[in-house]
Structure 1
Amino acid sequence: MKLYADRMPTAIRQLITDILVVVWVYLWIRVALWVHDTVLLLAVPGQKLESAGGGIADNLADAGGKVGRVPLVGDQLVKPFNGAADAARSLADAGHQQQELVDKLALILPLMAIAVPLALVLFLWLPLRLRWIRRASTALAVRDQPAGRDLLALRALASQPLSDLARLGPDIAQSWRAGDPAAVDALAELELKRLGLRKARAALRS
């Protein structure tokens, strides 16, 4: 599997692009973690509310239990304490619900923050990178074979700009059809150059 080109300009461009993509993903992960931590800070008031409400409710319940033991009027005196304890428990429940909401936001917002950057990497950069790797690996596998050079030449005729083909001569296509080795090697070299790969060994010896 060929990961990087042989020719320096293409290889350097690929390396810089890969580094930038890694840095890009890392920075957005850091942003997502920062959003997560920041959102979690919103749960602090809910935690304090739940703790305070629960503590007040327990204290009022204890006080109500003691007051309820007063002879004759204990049942009447305990009702306000029970009502206040229920109100405190409601505050504690509200604090707990706020924490649950914050926990959900702390999960959803970071995912939203990182979704678009990761989508750009997965659906734009990665397919192009994998396509080059596949094409370069295939070209490497066939470039040193006569039939492989002919396939590379055919690929060049089919995909290279007409201006680049014209530089090889006005009769390059006819020469290729006639099986001219020089024309085949020139076209194969043009395709290899487009991929950033070195010449075939046979072409280097010639």
Structure 2
Amino acid sequence: MKFYADRLPTAVRQLVTDILVVVWVYLWIRVALWVRDVVQKLAVPGQKLESAGSGIADNLADAGGKVGRVPLVGDQLTKPFNGAADAARSIADAGHQQQELVDQLALILPLMALAVPLALVLFLWLPLRIRWIRRASVALAVRDEPAGKDLLALRALASRPLSELARLGPDIAQSWRAGDAAAVEALAELELKRLGLRRGRS
């Protein structure tokens, strides 16, 4: 497998791009973690609400239990305490639900923050990088063989701009069809140069 070009400008460009992509992904991961931390702070009021509601409910239930021991009217006096305790438990439940909502947001929002940057990497940069690696690896495998040079020359004829081909001579296509070794070599060199690779042994 060929991961980087032989020619310095192409290799430097690839290396810089790879480093920038890694830094880009790292920064977005840090942003996602920061978003998660900020969102999780929203759970603090819910925690306090749940704690306060539970504490009040326990105290009211305890007070209701003590008042319930009063002879004759104990049952009547207990009802307000029980009602207030139920209301306090509802407040505690609301605090708990708010914490659950915050926990869900702390998961969803960071994923949303990461989705677009990672999609750009996975669907734009990575396919281009893999395609170059495959093409360069195949080119390296065939560049030293006569048939391989002919394939590289054909690829150059099919894909290089006319201005580049014309610089090799006005009859470069005819020379290639005739099997001219110099024309095949020049065209193969053109394709290798496009990939950032050096020519193999002659």
TM-score, normalised to structure 2, is 0.99
**RMSD of the TM alignment (CA)?**
0.4
Cα shift readout 1:104-134 (whole Å, capped 9, x = no counterpart): 1101100111100000000110110000000
Equivalent-residue separation in structure 1 for 2:80 and 2:95 (angstroms): 23
Superposed displacement of residue 200, structure 1: 2.0
Cα shift readout 1:136-186 (whole Å, capped 9, x = no counterpart): 000000001011000000000000010000000001000000000000000
Superposition pairs of residues 14-163 of structure 1, within 5 angstroms: 14-163=14-163
Say if 2:173 is the partner of 1:184. no
Equivalent-residue separation in structure 1 for 2:201 and 2:66 (angstroms): 98
Equivalent-residue separation in structure 1 for 2:26 and 2:45 (angstroms): 31
Equivalent-residue separation in structure 1 for 2:196 and 2:166 (angstroms): 20
Cα shift readout 1:28-86 (whole Å, capped 9, x = no counterpart): 00000000010000000000000110011011101100110110010011111001100
Q: Contact 1:5 / 1:196 at 8 angstroms: preserved in 2?
A: yes
Superposed displacement of residue 6, structure 1: 0.2
Aligned partner of 1:37: which letter? D
Equivalent-residue separation in structure 1 for 2:73 and 2:200 (angstroms): 105
Q: Contact 1:149 / 1:185 at 8 angstroms: preserved in 2?
A: yes
Taking only the aligned residue pairs, the percentage that are identical comes to 88
* Structure 1 equivalent of residue 173 of structure 2: 173
Aligned partner of 1:124: which letter? L
Aligned partner of 1:24: which letter? W
Equivalent-residue separation in structure 1 for 2:163 and 2:19 (angstroms): 33
Aligned partner of 2:166: which letter? A
Q: Contact 1:47 / 1:99 at 8 angstroms: preserved in 2?
A: yes
Q: Which runs of 5+ in 1 are unaligned?
A: none
Q: Contact 1:189 / 1:200 at 8 angstroms: preserved in 2?
A: no
Q: Contact 1:36 / 1:107 at 8 angstroms: preserved in 2?
A: yes
Equivalent-residue separation in structure 2 for 1:33 and 1:7 (angstroms): 39
Aligned partner of 1:156: which letter? A
Equivalent-residue separation in structure 2 for 1:160 and 1:140 (angstroms): 19
Equivalent-residue separation in structure 1 for 2:118 and 2:38 (angstroms): 21
Q: Which runs of 5+ in 2 are unaligned?
A: none
Equivalent-residue separation in structure 2 for 1:79 and 1:200 (angstroms): 95
TM-score, normalised to structure 1, is 0.97
Runs (4 or more) in structure 1 with deviation over 6 Å come to: none
